Structure 1
Amino acid sequence: MTLLEELIDTLKTDERLVSDGQLLKNKIIELGLKLDEKLISLLLENDNLKEHFFKTVNKVIIFDKDKFMKFVDNKEFLPDSYTTFKNKIGLTTQNEYLAKSGEVVLSWPYKDCVLEGGMEDPEEKNRKEVFWNEILAPDEIDRLFDPKVLTGFKRIDAKGEHKVDEIEPTDNLIIKGNNLLVLHSLKKRYAGKVKLIYIDPPYNPDSNANTFNYNNTFNESSWLTFIKNRLDVAKKLLKKDGVLIVAIDENEHFLLGSLLKEMFPDSDVHCITIVHNPRGVQGTNFSYIHEYAIFIIPKGQKSICNREIKPDEIEWSNFRN
């Protein structure tokens, strides 16, 4: 193998220098001029490259930058390129795409806490939510998440309500209560066994609208903590090929999407619109006809079946001004 071939093979192991399988000549020159530590370390790992592009002075190894630049700038090395960037659009930090950087995450106050939240008591409209810090209050959190005794069971079928003597593994359950505590109570029995989870959380609107009896007036950081706590346990319940669906509207759509991408890095995140009011709900500047459903699907998995929408299934309506 020639020195040229060795250099090309070595440089291709640094993903910063490669795009679509081709080395980026100007990027190599840029990093060489900056005496990039990673590039120099890479060259030192190869004995032939070390001998050719370095010299020793008083037992100190010195990078011969001029020699390296002349070699790289030679037409025989690579055709000229006019950009030091990869052939890909995206946000970067320190020459790395944010999507590949584990250091870039969504942060907010109380992210390291547990917020019980839950159903709103009509007599406690201004109830102060309690946060338990995961580091400072592990005992309180353990007690909160300990399995709870479920009571008041009744069986409902086509013939009405019946007394329950025993719960069968195949029974479908509707459980009324704080969903965070219920999810943790189900964790031991159903961890890794659930194929589909659908979550319809409070939408945290700017107005006083309160569709369900949740405390629906969290500030944004509290709301994110509320959601994260429930997603943490939902993730543990899902099968490896399980799918998570989260409903949301325009108020917290973007933050929720960022949180889901952080929490499910090995899954594809898809967002679709759901038309629920064809005439539109009046907003400040726009009338919204839709909400969103965000699907979390294992990467590369075909989970949604193809189905053609028939013309008679489509409803048309005049839009509200």
Structure 2
Amino acid sequence: METRLLQEINTVLSVFPEYWEGDVLLKTKVIEDLREYKKELIESLLSNDVIKEVYSLDIAHGTIFKIDEFISMLRYKNYWDNSYTRFSNEIGLTSDSKYLKYNTDVVLDFPHKDCVLEGGMTKEDFGKQEVYYHKVLAKDEIDMMLSPKVLTNMRKYDQNGEHATLEFDGKDNLIIKGNNLIALHSLRNRFAGKVKLIYIDPPYNTGGDSFKYNDRFNHSTWLTFMWNRLEAARDLLDDGGSIWLNIDDNEVHYLKVIMDSIFPNGFVANVLWQKRTSPDARATLGDAHDHILVYTNNVLKFKEQLKTLPLTDEQKDRFQNPDDDPRGQWVSSDFTAQGFRPNQVYTIVTPSGKEYTPPPGKCWKNIESEYRRLREEGRIWFGKNGDAMPRRKTYLSESPGRVAWTWWTNKEVGHNQEAKKESIALFGENNPFSTPKPERLIHRIVTLCTDESDLVLDFFAGSGTTAAVCHKMNRQYIAIEQITYGIDYTPERLKKVIEGEQGGISKELSWNGGGSFVYAELFRLNQQYVTRIQDAKSDDEINEIVRTIKDSAFLDYKINIDRLTNEDSEFAALSLDDKKKLLIESLDSNQMYLSYSEIDDVQYEIPESVKQFNHSFYQNRKVTVNNHEQ
């Protein structure tokens, strides 16, 4: 029975070429698709009577496929042809008597992994008891929270200043103000599969809050917070697109395991950026670097598209022209290759008459006819006297550049102090950005991964460095920022870029200004009350806000606002800060912003200009939430 069963399984799987590499079954890929309930795979398996008899259970109104039992058979049976365990016994780590190397269920696990974290990361969340919605049990709440939102306060900026705008061109640069998780889901309908590069510099979960993020997450909350956003961002990437995550030692290893789950087989590299010019005297061992994790959804295509870097001055100095070759400067390389290939072993006679054959264990790099062509073109160098071992010329004009490696020095791509000087030059000494990134660092990443007009996304925009660099490099960009400062720094920085500011990489690129961007905000519902509560300076202002909230805010169903604030409650005796925290917590975090599906609801009195822009942005069509039309 086992032999026949295996034959039937192979027959069914043979129609799926993605599960095979030659004659070898890619069991892990089959298992991943079964875990994702790939409909056509399960239907094909159950259509086979032999497989159905063994791995299904008939019930009154249907059939249950025993997925776990089928996966267990795929993983652990030693009789599969592509399993070397049929020849020898293995020694290795196990979990529940199963080898870890074969168990794709051995992953980073943490509380609330299958949940979506309510709210965001701004200061209104600090001190708040986090609320998690389970993806299955609280599907309605999640769908409401993540549904595409109305964009408002939209305006366009160019060299002639600020303009009203009623339309959104898919090629416009875009800055969105609002919760980045919700904004990411609002982008899906228009930009899914179109983003070439994502760069993010998320909160590092260090315990500090100098960047005004709620950066005091415990590990579980931080992991959930990141997982939610990275899953949403994944769907925006173009085939072969990449995501670069800037992080420090504190969370990098947790973050890598998360990324391995979200982008299976998508790891490219861990770039180390030397962010300091001297050791951190406060540390036991001086902190000198950040990590930049690089992932893609298609490793082969990413590698094919990856650019080289320009040669350094030191590398250019190696190119000379001792024979006055009219094609210009060149550098020579060894013409021998390791190994023995009979058709690449022959005698070469130099211009002086000296003869050479390849050394033992080597051959020439080309067959004889190709060598003759290169010699006729003057591409073979025999030394000044014409009697040296042959070497091949490579001209400076045709050099492919240099391949980037994973150690990026502060000399090459900048450092923290350089970035702070850039920030001070733009925003003054009292700007809120303690850890900005230098423009040269972002310039390198954008250079490696994109061409002009490609789309770049940064959903932790901060001071707007990514957007500024992309603007100067003629890349389209989307920047999302939700932190509320006294100044909206990202659009203010881009205005300066349009005017032709000369900081960062401007001189290197001969930047003189120009271009445009569109600015828009998520339409605030409860978020407007959060802002008013935060800005309140007195108990009288709080009392006025309470009256407004009672009439028009969306309240958390667990909160009885009348009982909370009546004369018999202890609310009046609380400090101003405690009143603010309690009122913010009474608001429904799922109703912070207005859903696009409700744009025509008369109670919100949406202006026609806002409706027109949103219909243009969403291309006047139904939008989807978690694969359901809305």
Same fold (TM over 0.5): yes
SS at match of 2:300: coil
Among 97, 109, 112, the residue aligned to 1:110 = 112
Give per-residue Cα distances to partners, 1:226-284, cap 9 Å, x unaligned.
Answer: 00000111111112211111111111011001111121113133110122222244453
In 2, distance between residues paired with 1:38 and 1:127?
50
Are 1:118 and 1:214, in contact at CA under 8 Å, matched by a contact in 2? Answer: no
CA distance in 1, matches of 2:203, 2:189: 26
CA distance in structure 2 between the partners assigned to 1:14 and 1:199 by the alignment: 37
Q: Which has the larger radius of gyration?
A: 2
The alpha-carbon deviation at position 210 of structure 1 amounts to: 3.1
- Deviation string, structure 1 residues 73-126 (Cα, Å, up to 9, x no partner): xxxxx9xxxx9559xxx866657453x53121110000011013424236x641
Q: Could you say which residue in structure 2 is the equivalent of 1:204? A: 205
Q: Distance in 2 between matches of 1:105 and 1:214?
A: 28
Q: Give the match's secondary structure for 1:165.
A: coil
Name the CA distance, whole Å, in 2 between partners of 1:291 and 1:221. 22
Closer, same or farther: CA 167–109 of 1 in aligned 2, 3 Å: same
Amino acid aligned to 1:214: Y
| Number of the residue aligned with 2:253 | 254
Deviating beyond 6 angstroms after TM superposition, the runs of 4 or more aligned structure 1 residues are: 12-15
2:266 alignment counterpart = 267
What code does the residue aligned with 1:137 have?
Answer: A
Do the aligned partners of residues 137 and 283 (structure 1) sit closer, same or farther apart at CA in structure 2, a change above 3 Å counting? farther
**Structure 2 vs 1, CA of residues 286 and 147 (structure 1 numbering), >3 Å: closer, same or farther?**
same
Report the counterpart of residue 159 of structure 1 in structure 2.
160
**Paired residues for 1:1-321 under 5 Å:** 38-39=77-78, 96=99, 98=101, 100-121=102-123, 125-205=126-206, 207-211=207-211, 213-297=212-296, 298-301=298-301, 302=303, 303-308=305-310, 310=312, 315=411
Deviations 1:1-50 (A, max 9, x none): xxxxxxxxxxx9899xxxxxxxxxxxxxxxxxxxxx945x679xxxxxxx
Give secondary structure in 2 for the equivalent of 1:271.
strand
Asked if the contact 2:118–2:131 (Cα under 8 Å) also holds between the matched residues in 1, the reply is yes
SS of 1:269 mapped into structure 2: strand
Q: Secondary structure at the match of 2:411?
A: coil
Distance 1:85 1:273, change over 3 A: same
For structure 1, which runs of at least 5 residues remain unmatched after alignment? Answer: 1-11, 16-36, 44-71, 73-77
Matched length: 240
Quickly say closer, same or farther: Cα 1:235–1:315, change in 2 above 3 A: closer
The answer to which structure, 1 or 2, has the higher relative contact order (CA under 8 A, 6+ apart) is: 2
Distance change in 2, residues 1:314/1:230 (3 Å):
closer
Counterpart of 2:200 in structure 1: which amino acid?
I
Distance in 2 between residues matched to 1:42 and 1:162, nearest whole Å: 66
SS of the aligned residue for 2:123 comes to coil
Q: Which amino acid aligns with 2:105?
A: E
**Aligned match of 2:428:** none
Preserved CA contact (<8 Å) 2:272 2:291: yes
Stretches of structure 2 lacking an aligned partner (at least 5 in a row) = 1-22, 27-75, 315-408, 415-630
Q: Hey, what's the Cα distance between the residues in 2 that align with 1:235 and 1:293? A: 17
Amino acid aligned to 2:108: L
- Residues 204 and 309 from structure 1, CA distance in 2 versus in 1: closer, same or farther, beyond 3 angstroms? farther
Give TM-score scaled by structure 1 length: 0.65
Q: TM-score, normalised by structure 2?
A: 0.35
When residues 226 and 282 of structure 1 are mapped into structure 2, their CA distance, relative to the original with a 3 A threshold, is: farther
**Contact 1:116-1:226 within 8 A present in 2 as well:** no
Q: State the alpha-carbon separation in 1 of the partners of residues 191 and 291 from structure 2.
A: 27
Assess, with a 3 A threshold, how the Cα gap between structure 1 residues 257 and 133 changes in structure 2: closer, same or farther. Answer: same
SS in 1 for 2:238: strand
Identity in percent: 38
SS of 1:270's equivalent? strand
Q: After superposition, what is the alpha-carbon deviation per residue over 1:155-212, rounded to whole angstroms, capped at 9, x for unaligned? A: 122333222232211101011111000000111111122111122211100x42432x
Q: Look up the equivalent residue of 1:250 and give its one-letter code.
A: D
